[in-house]
């Protein structure tokens, strides 16, 4: 994985505006102002090609997949399985069978906890997470600990928002059987050294899941290079539809794990005496899948594959540099999360103002940000704050959007301070 901007220049303003024009939701006014959408960490907007793919499927090919004896089912199945191959190549997984469709990152994590976790963990075993995890990468492991007697341990977070990597040798011991770590913090933007964590975990025989929900939209992820045992992400944070996600798992591991849910499609043969289960990946895909969602996600990936991702990454770095420049000038602004390795997330507090009030005043100016604890209460507790205002940027944001954010903050200060 290479997240350093190459010599490739950031996109020009005209390039970004042409790209932005492909996203219909961005072509609107909110409260009488042009929309400045800075809530990409929560969900990204969808390009017209993704919307068209959903409409086209429902208009022409709507049918259930697999085992259908008619043309529509054949067409739907071909698109559905072609989407799996597109995701496989996107992550550089070894086989399409290693790609499991889920509803999103949350379900993917729960799937692993309920299958590999229940099968392999026992009293006294340790599960290791970080102090900056989203709740969906905390609660499933807490539930699993209650069921198995395993113990949840936490890699601490430093005051600048980085992981305390100096603690890794003492935390990653022979007692650790599973590590689940976020690739990029949704609340802080911190990029974690997941390759190092995976290597150290494997040295003690532990398995590793990486929550990639906030990573895949920013740079190429190679699961074989990382050597991750499991990798999860959500389609809606990657310009795709909601309700579709991906769990990558190594084939050998997936084959040893029990099914997650019972029902249609995940079976090979059913009788009242015994049921045998289907081969990968269908063993984990009970019931009618989100066919349109998978097709839409594949379209989003193809859209992204057609862009210069190094130029986009350089552009996102430029957006964050403008944030840092203007933050120094505005005064009364506290940045939460100052890791030198950081994605395009700007999380902050305005002195004397509640984040919710700041968000409301920005919305009145057509500026969409996220406020609150961002489903990361433990890291907010560490900083002693109730939450933050979070501006999260994507490939269609412009330097003008950053300027609008800080102009909006100046106006908000007049009302709040």
Catalytic residues: 375
SS (H, E, C) 282-314: HHHCCCCCCHHHHHHHHHHHHHHHCCCHHHHHH
- Residues 6 or more apart whose Cβ sits within 8 Å of residue 384: none
Asked whether the beta carbons of 247 and 112 are under 8 A apart, the reply is yes
- Tokens encoding 222: 């190679």
Q: Are strands 230-234 and 36-37 parallel, antiparallel or unpaired?
A: unpaired
Cβ count within 10 A of residue 242 = 16
- Using an 8 Å Cβ cutoff, are 212 and 183 in contact? yes
Q: Find the helix or strand (DSSP H, E) in which 105 lies.
A: helix 105-112
List the structure tokens of 343.
């994605």
DSSP class per residue in 199-251: HHHHHTT-EEEEE-TTTTTTS---HHHHT-SEEEEEGGGGTS-TT-EEEEE-H
Strand order in the sheet with 230-234: 99-102, 245-249, 230-234, 207-211, 176-182, 126-130, 151-155
Burial annotation 35-66 (CB, 10 A radius, 16+ → b, else e) = bbbbbbbebbbbbeebbebbeebeeebebbbe
Bridge pairing between strands 388-392 and 345-350 = antiparallel
Q: Give the Cα separation of 192 and 185 in Å (integer).
A: 8
Furthest-apart CA atoms within the chain: distance in Å: 72
Alpha-carbon gap, residue 90 to 220, rounded angstroms: 8
Q: Residue 22 in contact with residue 354, Cβ under 8 Å?
A: no
Those residues with Cβ within 8 angstroms of residue 94's Cβ, 6 or more apart along the chain or in another chain: 224, 250, 251
Please choose, from the candidates 344, 379, 386, the residue with its C-alpha nearest in 3D space to the C-alpha of residue 38. Answer: 344
Q: Count of residues for the chain? A: 417
């Amino acid at each position: 994985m290479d997240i350093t901007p190459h010599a490739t220049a950031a996109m020009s303003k005209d390039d970004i505006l042409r790209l932005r024009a492909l996203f219909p939701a961005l072509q609107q006014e909110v409260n009488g102002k042009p929309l400045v959408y800075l809530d990409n960490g929560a969900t990204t907007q969808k390009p017209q090609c993704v919307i068209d793919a959903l409409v086209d499927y429902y208009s022409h090919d709507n049918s259930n997949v697999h085992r259908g004896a008619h043309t529509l089912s054949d067409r739907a199945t071909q698109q559905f399985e072609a989407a799996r191959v597109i995701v496989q190549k996107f992550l550089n997984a070894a086989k399409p069978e290693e790609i499991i469709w889920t509803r999103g990152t949350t379900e993917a994590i729960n799937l692993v906890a309920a299958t590999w976790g229940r099968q392999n963990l026992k009293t006294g075993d340790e599960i290791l997470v970080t102090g900056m995890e989203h709740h969906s990468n905390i609660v499933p492991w807490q539930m699993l600990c209650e069921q198995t007697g395993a113990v949840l341990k936490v890699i601490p977070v430093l005051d600048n928002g980085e992981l305390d990597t100096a603690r890794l040798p003492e935390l990653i011991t022979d007692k650790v059987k599973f590590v689940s770590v976020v690739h990029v913090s949704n609340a802080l933007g911190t990029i974690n050294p997941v390759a190092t964590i995976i290597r150290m975990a494997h040295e003690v025989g532990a398995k590793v899941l990486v929550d990639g929900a906030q990573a895949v939209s920013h740079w190429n992820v190679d699961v074989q290079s990382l050597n991750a045992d499991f990798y999860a992400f959500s389609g809606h944070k990657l310009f795709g539809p909601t309700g579709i996600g991906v769990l990558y798992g190594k084939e050998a591991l997936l084959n040893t794990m029990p099914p997650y849910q019972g029902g249609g499609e995940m079976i090979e043969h059913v009788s009242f005496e015994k049921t045998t289960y289907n081969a990968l990946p269908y063993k984990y895909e009970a019931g009618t899948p989100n066919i349109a969602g998978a097709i839409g996600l594949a379209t989003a990936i193809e859209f992204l594959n057609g862009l210069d991702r190094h130029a986009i990454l350089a552009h996102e770095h430029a957006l964050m540099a403008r944030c840092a420049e203007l933050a120094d000038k505005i005064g009364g602004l506290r940045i939460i999360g100052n890791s030198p390795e950081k994605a395009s997330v700007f999380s902050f507090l305005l002195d004397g103002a509640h984040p919710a009030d700041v968000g409301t005043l920005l919305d009145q100016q057509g500026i969409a940000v996220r406020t609150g604890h961002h489903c990361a209460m433990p890291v907010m507790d560490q900083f002693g704050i109730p939450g933050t205002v979070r501006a999260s940027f994507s490939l269609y944001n412009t330097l003008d959007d950053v300027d609008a954010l800080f102009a909006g903050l100046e106006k908000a200060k007049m009302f709040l301070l």
